[in-house]
Amino acid sequence: MKLISKRIILKDVTIKDAKSIAENANDYDIWYFTESIPHPYSLENAKKFIRDCMKKQREKPRKSYGFGIFLKSEKKIIGMIDLFKIDRMHKKAGIGYWIGKKYRKLGLMSEAEKTLLDFAFNKLKLNKIKGEAMVENKGSNALFKKFGFRKTGIFKEELIKKGKKKDAYHWELLKRNYKK
Ligand SMILES: CC(C)(COP(=O)(O)OP(=O)(O)OC[C@H]1O[C@@H](n2cnc3c(N)ncnc32)[C@H](O)[C@@H]1OP(=O)(O)O)[C@@H](O)C(=O)NCCC(=O)NCCS
User: Is pLDDT above 90 for 1?
Assistant: no
- What's the structural domain count of the chain? 1
* Per-residue pLDDT reduced to its tens digit, 41-68: 999 999 999 999 999 999 999 999 999 9
Q: Is residue 59 part of a domain?
A: yes
Q: Is residue 17 part of a domain?
A: yes
Q: Is residue 7 part of a domain?
A: yes
Pick from 3, 48, 43, 50: nearest CA to 23? 43
Q: How many other CB atoms sit within 10 Å of the CB of residue 6?
A: 8
Boundaries of domain holding 47: 2-130
Q: Is residue 117 part of a domain?
A: yes
Which is the closest atom of ligand 1 to the Cα of 142? 16
Q: Is residue 98 part of a domain?
A: yes
Angle between helices 138-146 and 108-118 in degrees, nearest 10: 40
Q: How many helices (H) and strands (E) does the chain have?
A: 5, 8
Q: Using CA atoms, how far apart are residues 109 and 29, in angstroms rounded to an integer?
A: 15
Question: How many A from CA of 10 to the centre of ligand 1?
Answer: 18
User: Is pLDDT above 90 for 178?
Assistant: yes
The sheet carrying 65-71 orders its strands as 2-4, 8-12, 65-71, 76-87, 92-99, 128-134, 164-174, 150-161
What are the residues facing 93 on neighbouring strands? 129
* Per-residue pLDDT reduced to its tens digit, 11-43: 999 999 999 999 999 999 999 999 999 999 999
Q: Using CA atoms, how far apart are residues 134 and 122, in angstroms rounded to an integer?
A: 29
Separation of first and last alpha carbons in the chain: 22
Read off the CATH number of the domain in which 36 is found.
3.40.630.30
Give ligand 1 pocket residues (Cβ under 6 A). 29-30, 33-34, 97-99, 104-110, 133, 137-140, 142-143, 146
Output the pLDDT for position 14.
97
- CA dihedral for 115, 2, 131, 35, sign (positive or negative): negative
Mean pLDDT, the chain, whole residue set? 97
Contact predicate 124/92, CB 8 Å: no
Q: Is residue 51 part of a domain?
A: yes
The DSSP output letter for 49 is H
Q: Is residue 173 part of a domain?
A: no
Q: Is residue 149 part of a domain?
A: no
Q: Determine the average pLDDT of the residues in 152-161.
A: 98
* Per-residue pLDDT reduced to its tens digit, 98-156: 999 999 999 999 999 999 999 999 999 999 999 999 999 999 999 999 999 999 999 99
